[in-house]
Chain A
């Protein structure tokens, strides 16, 4: 059998847009837990901090970027989704100051191309 997850996406969300981005993730994702896809910012471009994600997706995930329209609310998002927030996040995609997304690239290479580096933190052993 062949996997249905034929694409991968790398996403970087500026910290102020994390709440909206999570509603977009919930709408386009597969689980109610996707409302928590983005939590703490772990990368920075020196000015703005970003929360990041990288995942495999089915082709349907990329549909909205081709049509310009968000899909209907799926069952797992009922009662949780803020469509206005999801729409704001979607409208910000790859705009100045908005959410960054790239398709079918190595995430670490993409972070570097976006000028993002990991925020170093002292982790206890």
Chain B
């Protein structure tokens, strides 16, 4: 009887922790990165952050970074702003696949060699598109990339660091569904993992190097705001300089709730 009661107690403790946990905990020790939730209170129509988003269909020129790192994502060009959408319960940014994208200032990753990227995303077509990246992995040492669509053998990809081949492939290119995507990588351990809906699709280990991530802008929904435009919806985004399993164990259920996905 005591064992059963303890198990029930443990269940409720875990449930309580999950209900109060937020991604703020991931940045509590100064980890670099960003945390975005596309809700009106965190969105503005202009890049300067002076005109609030107040209605379904408003363009988004500024999305606040909730991590405390100040990596707010902006878009100065009016035509290139994604649109805030809501159904009254869920909130997302809609990217048109033509010219929409957001970008931060240069982020200082110089003390980090690991990264986890998590996002609930609706992918609207099979074409290759950037979910988020700090630069093509094959062209810039220390870059990371999360690409959805027809990358490398027509698959979604996640990669870290600068040598071509430092990517892991999803093994699929499924569209028109909301999925919780996670990419996890470490330059120092060689880990590369891509996950979808709380399951590992693929993992690999590449040669480790004593490097750190490169200081770059963070791009959301496009490559450098000039190509690989996402046609789809982003319901949230967390990027943190850690590859601990605890990051996705807690982050994925949180983000799933933002997108109304049952894991």
**B79 contacts across to A, CB distance below 8 A:** 11, 25, 29, 34, 37, 53-55
**A31–B58 touching, CB < 8 Å:** no
Of residues 211 to 245 in B, which have CB atoms within 8 Å of A's CB atoms?
223, 226-228, 231
**B58–A54 touching, CB < 8 Å:** no
**A40–B226 touching, CB < 8 Å:** yes
CB-CB nearest in chain B for A34: B78
Of residues 15 to 57 in A, which have CB atoms within 8 Å of B's CB atoms?
25, 29-31, 33-34, 36-37, 39-40, 42, 52-56
A107 at the B interface (CB under 8 A): yes
**A31–B47 touching, CB < 8 Å:** yes
A6 to B83 Cα, complex, angstroms: 12
**B46 contacts across to A, CB distance below 8 A:** 30-31
CB-CB nearest in chain B for A28: B78
B176 to chain A, nearest CB (A): 14
**B76 contacts across to A, CB distance below 8 A:** 31, 33
Question: A108 touches which one: B77, B80, B97, B147 (CB < 8 A)?
Answer: B97
Question: A124 touches which one: B47, B61, B136 (CB < 8 A)?
Answer: B136
A113 at the B interface (CB under 8 A): no
**B227–A34 touching, CB < 8 Å:** no
A6 to chain B, nearest CB (A): 8
A78 to B138 Cα, complex, angstroms: 42
Interface string of B36-56 (1 = CB under 8 A from A): 000000000011000000111
**A3–B98 touching, CB < 8 Å:** no
Of residues 96 to 125 in A, which have CB atoms within 8 Å of B's CB atoms?
107-108, 121, 123-125
Question: B58 touches which one: A5, A30, A53, A124 (CB < 8 A)?
Answer: A5
CB-CB nearest in chain B for A54: B98
**B159 contacts across to A, CB distance below 8 A:** 125
**B83–A56 touching, CB < 8 Å:** yes
Question: B138 touches which one: A2, A42, A124 (CB < 8 A)?
Answer: A124
**A56–B226 touching, CB < 8 Å:** no
Question: B137 touches which one: A5, A56, A125 (CB < 8 A)?
Answer: A125
Known: A29-B78, A30-B78. A3 touches B57 (CB 8 A): yes
CB-CB nearest in chain A for B157: A125
**B252 contacts across to A, CB distance below 8 A:** none
**A29 contacts across to B, CB distance below 8 A:** 78-79
Point out residues on B near A: beta carbons under 8 Å. Answer: 46-47, 54-59, 61, 76-81, 83, 96-99, 128, 136-139, 145, 147, 151-152, 157, 159, 164, 167, 223, 226-228, 231
The 6 closest A-B pairs by CB, nearest first: A33-B76, A3-B57, A55-B79, A54-B98, A3-B55, A124-B136
Query: 13 A-B pairs, CB-CB below 8 angstroms?
Result: A25-B79, A30-B78, A31-B78, A39-B226, A53-B98, A54-B99, A55-B79, A55-B81, A107-B96, A123-B128, A123-B136, A124-B139, A125-B147
Point out residues on A near B: beta carbons under 8 Å. Answer: 1-6, 10-11, 25, 29-31, 33-34, 36-37, 39-40, 42, 52-56, 107-108, 121, 123-125
A123-B136, A125-B138 known; 16 other A-B pairs, CB under 8 Å?
A2-B57, A5-B57, A6-B57, A29-B79, A31-B47, A34-B78, A34-B79, A36-B77, A37-B79, A39-B226, A52-B99, A53-B79, A53-B98, A55-B59, A124-B137, A124-B138
